[in-house]
Structure 1
């Protein structure tokens, strides 16, 4: 199986009557000349790191070395635990986890780049929340991570997952698309629904620039992870309801690549434009670096 077309992956899954995750596990075991059990256990370790990153990130006293960020996940958790958040427990918990993992990254903790460090909170935020809400076991989430990885590989091979190359659409956008596809499989949706979820989530975030204040993966990156997990839920919810993407996932990915190529360098992780170039953004940069 090649990771150059989501349509082809969906076709293979439908013809074999298997989940996308099953195909990926089989292919990876053959490609890496090891057992499926070994491949599965490697991904299971990644899941454990995600869980640990959530726990570390909700520490109310943890701050990044720059002093720019910290404590957001704890504040959000207090809001959710107190039943005061607007969108209910599931959505609130997902934002808590997305913020927590992103803050762990900003504090130089151990995270899983999923697919990048800057977008590391979206997948765990989405998957771990649904896992807890539905009482799913670790193995179900591990399989969903394989599905996410397949979609991520196609995006990486045909476009980019790098903010420096394609803007934040390539980071938080790709992570949202991967998480949406994984959520669909976790919730019993079909391979085609996973493809539609991926396409919808990626379409929603096309054109998002990468403009980190002071060049650090903190502002606005951490809050964009909270936005990204919301976007993943939107894509998954719509697809699971039978709502299709008018533009196929593979075409959305190519559109993202063309948009990224059109972006000026100031909006591709250089901290020369966007929010980084605002008066407050420049003042924060001076505060950190003098």
Structure 2
């Protein structure tokens, strides 16, 4: 899954693709680099980000999704709002990626159920402006799994088909670096829940802090791609369904090397790409 932020304030590439023409060109390039899906988002979810209204979000994503669909590029919509998801699906998106796991909008799961599309349910504890204060766990792996199970049950109760559900541990969302690494080590627990797992570590701040120089300054987001590649290979080796990344071609290259090595998956994936 390739990342396409149609926003002026993304943590990684804010403003680069805020214009429709630039966004569409980048989406096509992502597809040509090997992305199975181009994940289009019109609202930043970085820590501390303020919300935009639904009309603004729709105005950012729908023209891009429509143009990419016309160009034969499969897209997903990265949103927490059912109103935005509905508009994106109408424009041609084929998957809803909800970082709130349905908590931000109770109408999201019923919408997905009616649409019959795949649904990414991410672990989430609250909006971006509050997430750092919510990073409190006794056992992060067990608690994330339990809270994801609750969101899955809610989606099933709303009519979402079990085979259409994908789960995401939500690295960096109400989680610090210690939590992110614990979840990476124990992906087997999430895989054991019986749903495909999406892994999204790309360029996140904990990688920047890991790679900080002698002065203690974290590595800038665009310079975290090599570390992202390592996390992607680890995740795919563990058995995840997919990885969400900014740098698609290098990820494809790294995974081709891993496959050629003959190294086995640690856990067999439960389903193929929706």
Relative to the length of structure 2, the TM-score reads 0.28
In proportion to residue count, which structure has more helix?
A: 1
Structure with more strand by fraction? 2
